[in-house]
């Protein structure tokens, strides 16, 4: 069953076409990676899915709803969450508060400005559950700015998971991590499915090949290959464009 369907997606910046007739589907409960060289259009793709950019043409259908022209906050409320290449945490707030605010933002009571945080027991319980899943429960009272870079990356995913997001868009979550942190991050991302559907942008092709169900390869805005890891690994066009295996 397809959770996300992208049809004929194009995105132009003036005379430059960054996405060229992109078509693919993402199955519910899968880990679907998007790879390609720098400038391939990966982040632009994420920005169109999450509503930060309007496509020039084409359509994006999520869970049976056309979200092509919806605003980012509307898309987030439908269940699409994302992380960014640059961390977007509140460094002066605690780890728990960062996740709690993300859950509050998509909660029906998010405009109850004078409500005490201590009264939001259900939201606090959801936040603690998320921190347990990403392995940061023991750091819940630490300031986000005091965490290591690897821990901040984990927290960034926790923020994206807030409120039981249906589809998680993870943009280069291993950026700046050392080897053991990359290994832990790969295990975490794989563990998110099938509870969440994940679309992953990642440059570390060894990790992508080991954890993905399906891989879509972009080159200069075009989809040049798509399929399970073994198919992508043995694709001649992909090798020439990106992997450098031959």
| Domain CATH code at residue 221 | 3.40.50.300
Same domain membership, residue 94 and residue 75 = no
Task: Look up residue 203 and give its DSSP letter.
Answer: S
d(CA 235, CA 245): 10
d(CA 216, CA 118): 44
What is the per-residue pLDDT for 162? Answer: 77
Same domain membership, residue 159 and residue 170 = no
Same domain membership, residue 112 and residue 59 = no
Same domain membership, residue 235 and residue 173 = yes
What is the per-residue pLDDT for 246? Answer: 43
Long-range pairs, 20-23, Cβ under 8 A, ≥24: 20/220, 20/221, 20/222, 21/58, 21/222, 22/58, 22/218, 22/221, 22/222, 22/223, 23/223
What is the per-residue pLDDT for 118? Answer: 57
Residue 3 located in a structural domain: yes
Domain with 105, as residue range(s), is: 89-163
Residues of the chain with pLDDT > 70: what percent? 91
Same domain membership, residue 139 and residue 114 = yes
Residue 229 located in a structural domain: yes
Residue 84 located in a structural domain: no
Same domain membership, residue 188 and residue 67 = yes
Residue 71 located in a structural domain: yes
Query: Which stretches in the chain have pLDDT values below 50?
Result: 111, 113-114, 245-246
Same domain membership, residue 154 and residue 128 = yes
Same domain membership, residue 170 and residue 75 = yes
Q: What is the number of structural domains in the chain?
A: 2
Same domain membership, residue 65 and residue 93 = no
Q: Which residue, 163, 179, 194, sits at the end of a domain?
A: 163
Q: Which residue, 121, 136, 163, sits at the end of a domain?
A: 163
What is the per-residue pLDDT for 181? Answer: 87
Same domain membership, residue 176 and residue 68 = yes
Same domain membership, residue 68 and residue 108 = no
Same domain membership, residue 246 and residue 171 = yes
What are 133-154's pLDDT values in tens digits? 888 999 999 999 999 988 999 9
């Amino acid at each position: 069953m397809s959770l996300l369907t992208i049809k004929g997606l194009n995105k132009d910046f003036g005379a430059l076409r960054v996405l060229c007739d992109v078509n693919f589907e993402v199955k519910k409960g899968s880990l679907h990676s998007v790879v390609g060289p720098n400038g391939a259009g990966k982040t632009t793709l994420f920005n169109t899915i999450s509503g930060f950019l309007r496509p020039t043409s084409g359509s994006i259908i999520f869970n049976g709803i056309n979200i092509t022209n919806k605003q980012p906050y509307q898309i987030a409320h439908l269940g699409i969450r994302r992380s960014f290449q640059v961390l977007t945490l509140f460094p002066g707030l605690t780890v728990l508060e960062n996740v709690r605010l993300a859950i509050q933002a998509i909660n029906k009571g998010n405009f109850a400005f004078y409500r005490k945080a201590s009264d939001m027991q259900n939201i606090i319980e959801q936040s603690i559950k998320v921190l347990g899943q990403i392995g940061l429960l023991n750091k819940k009272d630490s300031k986000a700015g005091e965490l290591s870079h690897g821990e901040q990356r984990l927290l960034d995913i926790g923020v994206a998971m807030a409120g039981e997001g249906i589809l998680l868009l993870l943009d280069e979550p291993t950026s700046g991590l050392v080897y053991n942190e990359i290994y832990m991050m790969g295990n975490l991302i794989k563990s998110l499915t099938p509870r969440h559907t994940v679309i992953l942008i990642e440059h570390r092709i060894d990790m992508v090949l080991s954890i993905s169900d399906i891989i879509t390869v972009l080159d200069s805005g075009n989809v040049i290959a798509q399929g399970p890891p073994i198919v992508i690994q043995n694709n001649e066009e992909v090798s020439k464009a990106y992997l450098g295996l031959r």
